[in-house]
Amino acid sequence: NLRAVMYGLQQTPRHEVRRIAGRIVPAIATTTAAVAGLVCIELLKHIAYCETSEPGVEAKTDAVINTIEIKHARNAFLNLALPVILLSEPAPCVRTKLPSGAEFTLWDRWVIPVPANLDNYLLSDLIYDIK
């Protein structure tokens, strides 16, 4: 009711609030369990496609792993009230072009070597390393 007072809404009796909240809490737990299960399925797919079964072959490169992940990954849209689960292929990441011609996405990994002497490493040095 504090939010109702703050936003000028009609206040609700305490027993009505408890009745509504009693329905919400189990729904949150059920949704959390469903989402956790879907995340586990995607994680297992990632592990299965990243491992190599051929002896003497090194692990697959990031480019191969990314191709496999995008091809086999799925987005899930849940509505447990109906119940409906819709799976779709994820959209490709937005690629940003730099003036140098290089491209990157939000999911790319940039590795910057850590200098041996961190005491004298300044923010300007980090900016120089990134450039």
Render pLDDT for 19-72 as a digit per residue (tens, 0 to 9): 877 777 677 888 899 999 999 998 888 777 766 555 555 555 555 555 556 777
Task: Give the per-residue pLDDT at 76.
Answer: 92
Task: Give the per-residue pLDDT at 28.
Answer: 80
Distances in Å between the alpha carbon of 47 and those of 31, 43, 52, 75, 107?
24, 6, 10, 17, 18
The pairing of beta strand 75-79 with beta strand 84-88? antiparallel
Render pLDDT for 61-104 as a digit per residue (tens, 0 to 9): 555 555 556 777 889 999 888 889 999 988 888 899 989 888 88
- 83 cis-preceded (ω within 30 degrees of 0): yes
Task: Give the per-residue pLDDT at 80.
Answer: 84
Q: What are the sequence ranges of the domains in the chain?
A: 2-130
CA distance 115 to 128: 13
Task: Give the per-residue pLDDT at 39.
Answer: 92
